[in-house]
Every structure is written in C-alpha cells, then in structure tokens.
Structure 1
Amino acid sequence: MSLCSVVRSMRPLALAVAFGLLGACASTGSSKTPAPVDALYGQLDEASKGYETALQQSREGNLDASQLTLTRSLDQLKAAAARCGNTPGCDTQRFFSVFDRLLRLKDGDFSGDQDLNSDVDPAQRSLPTGKAGAAALPQAQRSVTLLHGQKLSELIAMNGPVKAALEMWLTQWRPQLMDAWVNYQFMRYQMWPQYERADLPEALLFGMVAKESGGKVHAVSRSGAAGPLQFMYATGMRFGLGTDNGFDTRFDPSASARANAEYLNEQLRKFNNNLELTIGAYNTGEGRMGRLVGDNSALSFYDPRIYNALPQETRDYVPSVLAAAWLFLHPQSYNLRFPKVDGAPGSIILKRPASLSELTVCLGSAGGVSDGWFRTLRNLNPKLDPQVTQPTGTRMALPKSLESAYASRCVDGPWPILAGDLHHAVIPVVTTPMAAPAAPSESRYKVRGGDSLVSIVRKLHCSSVQEVAEMNGLKHHRIRAGQVLKLPACH
C-alpha cells in the first residue's frame, strides 16, 4: 500500500501531519501527468496548507486572521476543483476527498471561544437547556458534533447514497429543508434539551425532523405515523407517548423528541452504536432490522445482505437523514445559507378572545416573515384547535419577538376586528333533497353451451359471481345449458 493510500484511509490526525502528507500526494505525480493537472494539484496542496495555517491562527487566538485564511483556502480549493472538471487527466475525486476531509477535521477540532467558521448560529448556543441554564460553549459544541463521544462527521460515510441525498436536499427538497430549519428553530428550546440530556447530537435531531415532517408538528402519514418525528401509535406508547386529556402527545415537540432520543439510544445499544442501522430501524422497524442483522452488529447498512433486503423507502431514508444532518453542520460549505431565526421562546396572555387563525391574520408579516405565523403558532400550541376561539386570559406560546407585535396589532385597532370578521364568516349550507332509492332492477340470461358463471358475470359486467349465485340458488356455482338466470342490474 502506498503512503498516499495509507493517509487517505486514516482517521483524521493533526492537520500539520495529515495534510502535509495529503499535500505531497496531491502535488507528487508521475512524469506523465500533464502540466495543467500538476498546477491544479499544486493549488490543492496550497489550500491544504492554508487550512493548516488557519487552524494554527485559531489556536493562537487570532480568530479574525484565521477566518480570513480559511475563507481564502476554501475559495482556492473550490476554484481549482471547478477547473479540474474541464482539464483532461485531472481527478476530480481527489479534490472532493480533500474537501470532505477538511470538513471532518473542522468539527470540534478548534480551540478558543468559537469554532472556526462555525456553521452553528452562536445565538442558538445560549438558549435555555433546562435547570442548568445557558449551555456553555464547549459543551454545546460537543453536543452538536458528537455521538456518545464520537464525532458525528466521522460516522457519516460520504458515499454515493449520501451524496445523492445531499443533491436532493440542495435541489428538489430544498423548500422542505428550509421550512424544516425555520420550524425547528422555533421549537428548538423544547426539542434540543431532550437530545442534549440523551447525549445525542443536535444535527441528528434536525436530520430526522427534516426528513420525517419538515418540522410540522401535526403531520400525519398515510400509515398513521404522527407528530414532528412521526411515531406510530404502538411505538409511541412504548416510549411514553399516549393521550393526555384527549391530546395525542405524539404531537408534542418536547415529548416526541424525548421519546425519539430514548428509542435511538435503545437501538444504538442493540446495534453496537451503528448509527446507520439504528436510523434504518427507526424507519423500517427494529424487528425487521434485527432479523436481518442477527448477531452480527458489525454489518454495514450497505452490506448487500442488509441493503438489498430493505424496502426502497428505508434505503432512501437513512442517507437522507444523514445528509440533512451533514448540511446542518456544514451549510456554507455547500453554498447553502440557512436564514437567521430568533427562536427565543415567549408567551402572551390574551387581552381579547382569539383563535390561532385570528392571531395569524392580525400579526400579518410581523418580523418580516412573508409566509405568516400560522405554522409557528400551531407548532408552539399543539393542543389548541386553530379554529376554536380561546377566551380572554388564555396563555399562548409564541416567539418572544412577537410579544410586542401582539400588543401593538392584536389587542386594539382594525386588525383584530378584521380577523374576527373573517373568522366568523357564515358559509351557506347547501342541502339537496334525498332521492328515493331506485327499485332494484333485474334481467334474464339464457345459459349457452360453454358458459360458466364466471364468464357470464364478466361478459355482462355484473357485480359479483356470489350475488348471481345467491339470486338463483345455485350450489357450487353449477349451471346448465338452456337454464335462465336472474341477474342484477348489469352495465
């Protein structure tokens, strides 16, 4: 095995060692390598060294210079990679491999008060996480990137299925991804503490929310799975989700996140911390996955004995969840910009009766949100029917940024009056007289040679063989030539 192959197969080491060797692999070529290709590989080497410099600057506390060096290095890498695709003899996979390794080395490997070029909004780190108060940055950072002490980025194999899922999230599924991000940010204070207590990474939680429901608390699938994390009823009951005064707690963001974290940790223990098998079990059922894996928990999800025996839905589901989690960690590296969302929780006490629908109308586009606040209000108040008017004095949850908007728009003035007028509009009920049931009609058919009861029913498009048999008192569907049969109205 060559030195280059050894380096590429290693887990990430210190950048000074690993990327020094990778740079040598990139810039060292045979005498047959075309000069333009050698030049591109040289730029790859420079980008790797620039990343090493950025890391060192970060460790020395020079964060502004570190950010600038890192940005230049990544821009150089991207530009060279783009030219590589149009240069004969240039191996584009080599550029992707280095880019992928840069991202993996970034996670959790920076010292100082911030993660260099962090893709996690610093404002999010200070949200309440229970009795302990605001999460300290180092712990928040570890929680974002680690799964039981292992780097989440090291557990996500950047293989064909995950790459294909990344493309889907960045193209056809992009609206769902962005909606999921916004919805999750407003529910984060309820859901993330459950994962943090379970020692699970936030990126995984986001990946599951994005794929399962897009962050819509009241989502229900055709199979009956419900809530932001789509629990089947029986599975939800197993993890404490049931009915509370008529409310299905699968729709509760906090309760569903807790149950989801408990389920994942149970399955991680069962499958020896194999994340892909665990996510697959969440989708296809732990029974089926357990039967496929048997006692060999070292099997890969992509082992043909596992992968080929799973339904297409599960084969797509696992890489989709992992790809969404990867984008949560590295959006900027994929030319993706998640919107800034102030998810700080707040509440109001109704000063006048109102439903969630009426509040949505009077709040309008407060805060510059063009899509309105209906989904957010529903997600934060899952027990309330959005069409039912709540009495004065009712406490409702909403983003803290909307508390002042409620006071200025929804207590007095024209907007609550307009909202109430629209909400209580009377829709005429159209009634039609019931038509008298038509008398059943019958017809006759004379059996011909070669006829069978089945052939007669098919030929005349009658309702069923059984109905014709019962009308004529036939035993064992036996008929004879010349026999006259009574038939129902056939068309």
Structure 2
Amino acid sequence: MNPRLKHLVVALSLSLLAAVFTPAHSADTKKADAAAVVQLQQRMDAAEKHYRDAMLAEDEDAAATATTSALAEMKAVVDACTKQRGCAVDTMLTTYERLLKATPQFDDGMPAADEDPLDERDFTAANVPDTANAASLLSEDGQRFVKMVQFNPAVQAGIRRWLTDMRPSLMDSYENYRYMQAQMAPAFKQHGLPEALLFGIMAKESNGKVHVGSRAGAVGPLQFMPATGRRFGLGNDGSGFDTRYDPKASADAAAQYLSERMAQLNNSIELSLAGYNGGEGRALRVFRDTGGRSFWDPDVYNQFPAETKDYVPMVIAAAWLFLHPKEYGIRWPSVSSRPSTITLAQPASLYELTICLGNWGSRDGYLRALRNLNPRWAADDMLPAGTSLNATFRISWLYRFNCAHGQRMALAKQLMASNVQSALVRVGEPTPAGSPQVAVATPAPSAAAAVPERKPAKPVKARHYKVKRGDTMSEIVRKFDCDLGDLAQANKLRKPRYALKPGQSLKLEGCKG
C-alpha cells in the first residue's frame, strides 16, 4: 500500500475513534466536575451553618473557637474551588468574605515575644497611613522624631517615672489610645507630625480618657482651653456637645496648633510643647529674647513654670517608650481595635451595654472604649433603638452575641434600674420575690390615735438637694429614684455632661425616692 495512503487511512481511523469515544468521555468528565462542584457547595453551606450556630454557643470562648473553625473550612473550600473546573469562585468567595468581615480578631491578649503589638491590619479599613513601628525604630516617622528631640537626663528621669509609679497610667494610656488611634493618628500624619508625639501628649494630658477636665477649664483627650479650642474650630456644635471631647476633632486641632508653634519656634518640639502647656505667648517671647536657643539652655528653661519644666520631658519620655517598648521590657496590652459600628436593636445606655457585653478580650470591660468612641453621650443616657454607635469589630460581635438576643440585656436593665430605696420594705408589706424582708420600725398606734383627726392637706413643696463634691448626675438619679429627663429639664442641665457644681441646689422633679 502506498505509504501516503496508509498514513491517510490511519489518520481517518483515529478521527473516527475520536468521534466515537470523545463525546462519552466528555460527558463523564462534566458529570464528575458537576458532582465535585455540588460537593464543594455543600461543604460551604455546612460551614456557614456551623458559623451561624456558633452564635448560640454557651460562651464567647466556645463561639470564637467554632467561628474560627468554620472560617477555616470556608477558606479551604474557596481554595479547592479555584482548582475545580466549573466552580464559581466569586459565589464561594462572597460568602466567605461576608462572614470574615463580621468576625473580630480572636487573640489571646498577649502578643508573641517577637511580634509587633501594633497590628497594621486593624487600620486598613480606616485608610490610616503607616504608623511608627512600636517594636523598633524601623519607620521614617520614628527616626525623624528621635532626631528632633534630645534624649537627655531629664527625659530619662521621665522614662523612669513612667516605668515605675506611673506604669499603670502608661498602660491605660496605650490601651485607650489604640481604640482611638484610627480617629486621631491621621491628623498628625497629614500635618507631618510624628504619631509618637501625639501619644506622648495624650498620655500626659488625659491618659486617653476623653471626658477628663481640669480645674482651669481644659477638657478632652488633649485638654483644650475654651478660647484656644475656638481658634481651631472646637466648641459647642449647636446641639450642646462640646467638640473638645471629640478625639478626631481634638487631634486635628492639636496638629494645627503644633504646626503653628513649630513654624514659629524653629521646629523645636520642646519649645512647641512648652507653648502647648505654658502658653504660646510666653514660649514665643522666650524664644525671641534668647535668640532661639534650646529649651534646655538654662536661660530658656528657667523662664518657664515648674509645671512646664515637668511637662516637656514627660511627654517626650512617653513618646520615646511608644517607639522603644522592647528596649525597656514593655509588653503593651493587646487591643483588638479595628473600627466598626453598632446599631442598637433596642434602647440601651452605655452602662447597660458595658454590663451586657461582658469583658471577654478585655480585662476591664468596654465602658472606657465606648465612652471614648462616643463622647457625645453620657454613660447613663438612654439611647433609642436605631442609634448608631462607634465601636470595634470585637465589640460589635459581642453585642450581637450577648445583647441583640438572650437574657444578658434584660439582666443589665434590671441592674441599672435597681436602687437601695426599693430594697426597703415595711413590716407586713409583701417583699419582692427572692428578696429578704427588711424591717423598718414604725411606732405602734395608740388607742387614742386609732382614728386620727383629719387635717387639711398642706401644699407639697418641691424638694431640693444640695450637690456635694464628687456627686454625679447618675448617682443622684439612683439615690432619689429620678427620671433623668425630668430632673435635667427642671434644673436646665444639658446633656451629655449634665455639669454639676458643689453647693448647687437641685430641684428634685421626677424623683420618687
């Protein structure tokens, strides 16, 4: 047979064989692929159900373990889907990403020895620029700060104080700052100021407690006086709220203020801090009179008050520790601080939320974090359903777990409604279920007094209470069993602070006790 003809016959034979066997082979492959895709979808559905069932676990630890396991299974399904023909990766990934975003970072509260406790992933949602690395001087920001200040014995003495008697305040400052960092840090970055400087000022001024106020009238996390605050847009926003308490607004004002001082004072951080604490007029006058010499020059240093001489090195010392924790044996508290929000499913106060949330993942619970992130509200303000509150992913998860359903919120409301007066029961009166009876002695009626003579009723005078030093509105409301709104309206007190003064006479409207 002709070789060419032979090759043609072979080719035709192979074509016929392909025509006969390929369709059957393709059908089998498609069936296998389809079955594999169905199996992957079933795994994804089961993992999602496992995740949602975890919200009904008995405690937060069990829920955290179960949700983490479910998310790991979903990730494995997504990975398998990318390798499986016919699998819609986008569909699988949507489920995984939706639940991943709703899950907080479950850590053990203590970073590893070689781990930077500043988790940069916490700030991706807030678009915060790279922060100073708290483990070592790796960032340009940190290097720049170190070059701008003097690490002298005064600063070293400040470090000694922060690491001994004031260590608890330093730890509190760091933890409080981490919750507010996403709100406060961008302002300093935008003005070209080191973030470590922001931390140092806040640690010295308020320990990161937003509602702190001084006797001189300075308030907020960065302690602005009324007049200085007004220059930079802080003050009453028209609703009665003073924006000096707002972390974001106060950080922006502080960045503007320090930028002004730095421009006037030859970029001296020490003199700018002296102006922040001791008055910008004094700092500028001293700078000009001494020919722009350093803050540490005796002729300059001795023209500032004792408070400012203490303030400047203490701020720099706190900033230095923020940048060099390992060198000084500091283990910062681990804080899960990725920003999120809570929408109240039912009316609640910050006090009730604090009780309801518990303290899983935080030694001291979440009252300070909630107040710092929501400075507009007093802790005992009853906020209506639908109110949106700033929170973190962990707090929002705990809210859904503990407060959106179940008995924890009911328990919190019961505890907040409780007061001592309601525990007192006269002899013969029924006692609340489960409560011991408290006998309150009453004089026995005599025979002559069996039918008392009816006297004309006297007009009831409004009762008053004289405010004592240390009294708060919430304590007075509980003591006299008052309606907060009625009491505030009767005395023309404005929320959120309901500011009281020692010696002030309160008209006890809306009070039963």
**Length-normalised TM-score, structure 1:** 0.60
Match of 1:292 in 2: 286
Per-residue deviation, residues 416-471 of structure 1 (Å, max 9, x unmatched)? 1111011122454999999xxxxxxxxxxxxxxxxxxxxxxxxxxxxxxxxxxxxx
CA distance in 1, matches of 2:298, 2:184: 35
The one-letter amino acid paired with 2:120 is: Q
Match of 2:251 in 1: 257
Q: Which of residues 134, 141, 145 is equivalent to 1:146? A: 141
Q: Which runs of 5+ in 2 are unaligned?
A: 1-112, 425-460, 465-513
CA distance in 2, matches of 1:134, 1:306: 37
Secondary structure of the 2:123 match is coil
CA distance in 2, matches of 1:267, 1:196: 16
1:305 and 2:299 aligned:
yes
User: Do the aligned partners of residues 294 and 135 (structure 1) sit closer, same or farther apart at CA in structure 2, a change above 3 Å counting?
Assistant: closer
User: Do the aligned partners of residues 124 and 289 (structure 1) sit closer, same or farther apart at CA in structure 2, a change above 3 Å counting?
Assistant: same
Q: Which of residues 396, 400, 405 is equivalent to 2:398? A: 405
The one-letter amino acid paired with 2:400 is: A
CA distance in 1, matches of 2:358, 2:222: 29
What are the equivalent positions in structure 2 for 1:72-221 lying under 5 Å apart?
121=117, 123-124=119-120, 127-128=123-124, 133=127, 135=129, 145-146=140-141, 151-221=144-214
Q: Which of residues 319, 329, 339 is equivalent to 2:333? A: 339
Match of 1:323 in 2: 317
CA distance in 1, matches of 2:204, 2:292: 26
Match of 2:216 in 1: 223
Per-residue deviation, residues 270-294 of structure 1 (Å, max 9, x unmatched)? 0010110001110000011122222
User: Do the aligned partners of residues 412 and 125 (structure 1) sit closer, same or farther apart at CA in structure 2, a change above 3 Å counting?
Assistant: closer
CA drift at 1:372: 1.1
Match of 1:268 in 2: 262
Match of 1:366 in 2: 360
CA distance in 2, matches of 1:424, 1:393: 22
User: Do the aligned partners of residues 139 and 179 (structure 1) sit closer, same or farther apart at CA in structure 2, a change above 3 Å counting?
Assistant: closer
The one-letter amino acid paired with 1:158 is: F
Per-residue deviation, residues 365-410 of structure 1 (Å, max 9, x unmatched)? 122x121111110000000111011111111111111222111111
The size of the alignment, in residue pairs, is 313
The share of aligned pairs that are identical, in percent, is 45
CA distance in 2, matches of 1:292, 1:317: 17
User: Do the aligned partners of residues 424 and 145 (structure 1) sit closer, same or farther apart at CA in structure 2, a change above 3 Å counting?
Assistant: farther
CA distance in 1, matches of 2:115, 2:289: 39
The one-letter amino acid paired with 2:380 is: Q
CA drift at 1:312: 0.9
Tell me if structure 2 keeps the 8 A contact 1:366–1:402: no
User: Do the aligned partners of residues 270 and 295 (structure 1) sit closer, same or farther apart at CA in structure 2, a change above 3 Å counting?
Assistant: farther
CA distance in 1, matches of 2:334, 2:220: 25
CA drift at 1:146: 3.1
Per-residue deviation, residues 36-75 of structure 1 (Å, max 9, x unmatched)? xxxxxxxxxxxxxxxxxxxxxxxxxxxxxxxxxxxxxxxx
Tell me if structure 1 keeps the 8 A contact 2:213–2:219: yes
CA drift at 1:166: 0.3
What are the equivalent positions in structure 2 for 1:358-437 lying under 5 Å apart?
358-367=352-361, 369-426=362-419, 428=421
**Length-normalised TM-score, structure 2:** 0.57
The one-letter amino acid paired with 2:335 is: V
Match of 2:241 in 1: 247
Q: Which runs of 5+ in 1 are unaligned?
A: 1-116, 435-491
Structure (1 or 2) with the larger CA radius of gyration: 2
Secondary structure of the 1:181 match is helix
CA distance in 1, matches of 2:353, 2:199: 28
What are the equivalent positions in structure 2 for 1:13-24 lying under 5 Å apart?
none
CA distance in 2, matches of 1:287, 1:380: 33
Secondary structure of the 2:391 match is strand
The one-letter amino acid paired with 1:127 is: F
CA drift at 1:297: 5.4
Tell me if structure 2 keeps the 8 A contact 1:209–1:229: yes
CA distance in 1, matches of 2:192, 2:138: 7
The one-letter amino acid paired with 1:146 is: D
Tell me if structure 2 keeps the 8 A contact 1:162–1:320: yes
